[in-house]
Structure 1
C-alpha cells in the first residue's frame, strides 16, 4: 500500500482539498488500494486513523500514524495481525478470569485511549513480568524490617528517630555532609523512619509503579524511579544541609508524576 497512491486517490475523494475525508470513503479507499490486507487488519487501521471517533480522517494524521516512532508497535501489529481487535469496549467484556480482569484494570488505569487499551489487552503476555518494582519494594521492606528488629533486640527500642546516632552511622542513609559517598544518593530508599512510612511508600509503589511497569516496561519505569530518588537527595542537599534523608518518597513522587502525565 503506497502512500503516493493513497494520496492520489484521496484527492479524488476530497475535491475541495480540505485534507479530510469521511471514514466511509476512507474504508473504500483502503479496500481498493490494499486488497491483500486482511479485513481485520483493515478495521484496526481504520480505527487508529479515526483516533478522535468523529467520522473524519485527516490524511496528514494518517501519514503520521504510519511513520512516527510511537506507532511502531501498532504498525507491526497491523502487518503481522495475529490477533483480532475487539469491536466493543473492554468494560463490556463478560466472563473474564482474574488475570484478564487485572490486565483490563491496568489498561484503564494507565492508557487514555480506548484503542490503546484494546491493543494492550490483546497483546500483553506478562513476559517479562513487572519484576523491577516488586523487587525494589521487597528489598525496601526486608531492609527496614531487619533494621527494626535489630534495634529492638540490641537497644530495646524498635522505633528510632532519624536524628538518632544509630541512623546517622548507618551506611545506607543519605546525609548532605556525607555526599562524597555517592552510593548514598540511592541507598537511602532502603531505610524508613517507621513502619507507617514504609507501608505508605510500599502501597503507592505497588499500586502505581506495577501497572506503569506492565505497560511501559522495567527499563523506562526504572529510569523514572531512579531519577526521582536521585532528585530527592539532591533537593535535600540544596534545601537543608543538616537533614538526613530516608525513605523512597522521591521515587514514589516520580511514579505518581509519570502516572498523571500518562493519563492527562
Structure 2
C-alpha cells in the first residue's frame, strides 16, 4: 500500500494528505478500483496516453475484482509486459474501444507506415495496438537495408568489371571471385556465407532485393535486427551447407537461402494465424508469393540442369532455395510467434536451435570427410 500511495502522491499536482490517499485503498490491499482510478485520471488531467489507459482498463476488467495494482501500472507506463500481464490484457481486450488502428485519423506518413507494418505482421489487435503506440524509430531496420545495398553494389562492381549484366555466372572469370561458394574451396569457410552477395544475374538480384525490402524490412521493424538477422543468416548458411551435401559438384551464388527463410517464415505465420491477420487481399497475395517463389525455384532448376549457354562447369545449385524455406518454416514460426516474448523462455526455440546445431555439425563433418570417402568428382576451382 505504501508504494501505491507514494505513486498517487507523486502523480497528481495537488498535495493530498496521506489520510485522503489511504481512502482509495481502505483495506490496505495495494489495489485500487478501476472506476476510482479512471475518475482520478480524468478529474486531475493526469497525462496518461489514452491508448494505455484503455489497455489498463481492459486489464482491470479481466479480473474478478475489477482492480488495478501498482505493478501493473508501472509495467504499462514503462512498456513492459509480463506473461501474466499479457494474458490478462488478452482476456480483457473486449473492453477496449471497437475502433481499430485503421480508423485513426490525422496520422503522418511514418505513423501510417508503422500502422501498415503492424497489420502486415502481427495477427492480434492487442499486439498491433501495443506495437503501434510503443514503437520507436531507433534503431531503424538497418540489417536488411545494409544487406540489400551491399548486394547491389557488389553486383554493379562485377557487372562493370565483367561487362555482363545477365547470367553473370556464364562468364569464365565469375567463379574466380573470393565470395562465391565452390566445392573446391570448401576449406575457405567464409564462402559459405559470402556467396549471398553474388548473384546469377540481374533477374535474381531484382527478385531477392524486392522480397528483402518488402518482407524483410517490416519483419525487422517488428521483431528486431537480432531475430531477423539470425533467421536470414541461418537460411544462408543452411543453403550452402545443404548444397555441399546434396549437390556436391555445384557452386552456390545469391541470397536466396536467406530470402526464402524470411518469406516462408512470414507465410507460415500468416497461415497459422489466418483468422487474426488483417492484411488486405491476404489470400491473393499469398498465392502470388507462392507462384513467384515456385517460378524462381523452377528457373534455378532449369539453369542447373539445362543451361541455355555452354558453360565450363556445373551451374549454381537450387538446393539453397529449398533449404532456406525449411529453415524459415521450422525456425521462423518460433521467432515470429511473439514479437516481445523472450526466445529463451520458449521450449520450442531450444528444440529448433538444437536441431539446427545438429545439422551444422553433421554438415561440417560431411564436408571434411565425405568428399574423400565417396570419391566425389569435383572439378578444380577456377
TM-score w.r.t. length of structure 1:
0.69
Asked if 1 retains the 8 angstrom alpha-carbon contact of 2:165 and 2:201, the reply is no
Q: CA 1:256/1:160 → structure 2, altered by over 3 Å: closer, same or farther?
A: closer
Aligned pair partner of 2:139 in 128, 136, 143: 128
Change (3 A) 1:131 1:48: farther
**For the structure 1 residues 111 and 151, does the alpha-carbon distance in structure 2 shift closer, same or farther, using more than 3 Å as the test?**
same
Assess, with a 3 A threshold, how the Cα gap between structure 1 residues 178 and 95 changes in structure 2: closer, same or farther. Answer: same
Contact 1:163 1:244 in 2 (8 A): no
1:104 pairs with 2:108: no
Instruction: Determine the structure 2 residue equivalent to 1:35.
Output: 32
8 Å contact 1:201–1:248 — kept in the other structure? yes
Larger radius of gyration: 2
Check the 8 A contact 1:161/1:193 in 2, yes or no: yes
Are residues 195 and 120 of structure 1, via their aligned partners in 2, closer, same or farther at CA, if it must alter by over 3 Å?
A: same
- 1:150 paired residue among 146, 158, 161: 161
In the alignment, which residue of structure 1 is the partner of 2:236?
229
Alpha-carbon spacing, 1:57–1:204, altered in 2? closer, same or farther (3 Å): farther
Could you tell me how far 1:176 is from its partner in structure 2?
2.1
- Tell me the residue number matched to 1:69: none
2:255 aligned partner? 248
- Segment drifting more, 204-213 vs 236-245: 236-245
Q: Aligned runs of 1:71-220 on 2, under 5 Å? A: 73-75=80-82, 87=97, 88-152=99-163, 157-220=164-227
Closer, same or farther in 2 for the Cα pair 1:255/1:47, shift >3 Å?
farther
Unaligned segments of structure 1, at least 5 residues: 2-31, 51-55, 59-65, 67-71, 79-84
Any gaps of 5 or more consecutive residues in structure 2? Answer: 2-28, 39-49, 65-71, 73-78, 86-94, 273-382
CA contact (8 A) 1:228 1:251 kept: yes
How far did 1:159 drift? 3.6
Distance change in 2, residues 1:215/1:48 (3 Å): farther
User: Are the equivalent residues in 1 in contact too, given 2:167–2:202 (CA < 8 A)?
Assistant: no
- Separation in structure 2 between the aligned mates of residue 57 and residue 232 of structure 1, nearest angstrom: 49
Q: TM-score, normalised by structure 2?
A: 0.49
